[in-house]
Amino acid sequence: MSRTMTRPNEASQVSRLYEDPFHSLENRMSQVFRGMMDNIGSNETGLGNYPVDVEEDDDAITIEAELPGFKRDEVDVNVENGVLTIKAERGAKQLNGKTKLHMSERRYTRVQRAFTLPRTVDGSDVEAKLCDGILTLTLKKTEESKPRKIEIRSGDNA
């Protein structure tokens, strides 16, 4: 907890006279802890994971992946040998020479997930859409895997 001595200023606002010397230490410890927590959930390649939902109906499998802050050109989706891979990579913010950086918590970020596709999915028929930080993939099922009604004929030979 930060402890500062304060006094009201003319506009009845609180202003700081001095900052607790342990405040900067506490902030640094929080940054280190946050960095360690960021690595929890990382896979063996050191890439972070992100939450996904997978849904299925008769015609397709839909995957919704949370990729907040990523632009369309920073996301790569491909299917190879029955494996769907979603990668996203974002560089650190670049500053011009006149800008002074006071704080930077956003950094280079790279995430990746891979899914083995079932045989019922046609890997060549995938639709992708990125909207409001949610990547939605629709993977169409093969015609052979879709349920179909079998007509039953009567046993009469007439």
Which residues make Cβ contacts (< 8 Å) with residue 42, sequence separation at least 6? 48, 49
Structure confidence at residue 65 (pLDDT): 95
Q: What pLDDT band is residue 20 in, cutting at 50, 70 and 90?
A: low
Among residues 59, 67, 78, 28, which one has the least CA distance to residue 139? 59
Domain housing 28: 1-40
Structure confidence at residue 103 (pLDDT): 80
Are 15 and 78 part of one and the same domain? no
Q: Are 51 and 67 in contact (CB under 8 A)?
A: no
Tokens representing 105? 């918590």
Are 51 and 36 part of one and the same domain? no
**How many structural domains comprise the chain?**
2
pLDDT tens for 21-58 read: 666 667 666 766 665 554 444 444 445 678 999 999 98
Are 52 and 128 part of one and the same domain? yes
Q: Are 114 and 121 in contact (CB under 8 A)?
A: no
pLDDT tens for 63-120 read: 999 999 899 999 999 999 999 999 999 887 777 778 887 787 777 889 999 999 988 8
Q: For the domain that residue 139 is a member of, what is the CATH number?
A: 2.60.40.790
Tokens representing 72? 């369309």
Domain membership of residue 61 (yes or no) is yes
Structure confidence at residue 146 (pLDDT): 73
The alpha-helical segments, DSSP class H, found in the chain are 21-39
Structure confidence at residue 132 (pLDDT): 94
Are 29 and 58 part of one and the same domain? no
Structure confidence at residue 54 (pLDDT): 94
Q: Using the predicted structure, report yes or no on whether residue 15 has a pLDDT greater than 50.
A: no
Q: Is the dihedral of CA 6, 8, 12, 15 positive or negative?
A: negative
Structure confidence at residue 101 (pLDDT): 78
Structure confidence at residue 18 (pLDDT): 54
| Total residues found in the chain within this entry | 158
